[in-house]
Amino acid sequence: MPELQRLDAHHARALLRFERENRAYFARSVPDRGDDYFTGFAAQHAARLAEQAAGACHFHVLVDDDGTVLGRFNLVDVADGSAELGYRVAERATGRGLAQDGVRRVCDLARDEYGLRRLVASAALANPASLAVLRRTGFLPVGEVQLNGQPGLRHVRDLTAGNREGPGLRRMTS
């Protein structure tokens, strides 16, 4: 079973490989990171680690037994008990439930390790797989958004006690 690990300096090479190998695949449903991301990856990686050390973000990678990165699960813009969730899974790893499992694990970490009470996530309407992952992991749609000019849905998940993942969740407003 792949392991969810907090992003560290030693992940740099495998993470860059993951991003390069999946660049075209990701660009079909999320904005491309651009050439500068790849040419300046070392600086980008160091900046992410600095943000994480400051508590502004929590970055995670889903790593296979051989050290291959299969996915990223990030909590960004941490403030006032809340954060924005973003995730992506390698094309070759889709259809195995890894996105759903990774989101569940990050939600648990957000609540239990980082003391967060609320997560927000958005997905494009053209990305039904991501929308399904959010709904299956307890996120509720709260409104429409534009994601790089494309229609999407904003979701919220309340992480507080008594409001766990599942069909009994109450609708939240933002």
**Could you state, in order of their start, the residue ranges of all structural domains in the chain?**
3-158
- Strand-pairing partners, residue 71, are 62, 89
Distance CA 5, CA 11 (A): 9
Q: Which of 174, 173, 111 is nearest to 137 (CA)?
A: 111
Of 83, 125, 90, 129, whose CA–CA distance to 106 is shortest? 83
Side-chain-facing half-sphere of 51: CA atoms under 13 Å: 18
pLDDT at residue 166 tops 70 = no
Q: For position 6, what pLDDT does the model report? A: 98
Q: How confident is the model at residue 42 (pLDDT cuts 50, 70, 90)?
A: very high
pLDDT in tens, 134-153: 999 999 999 999 988 889 99
DSSP class of 96: S
3-158: what fold? Aminopeptidase (3.40.630)
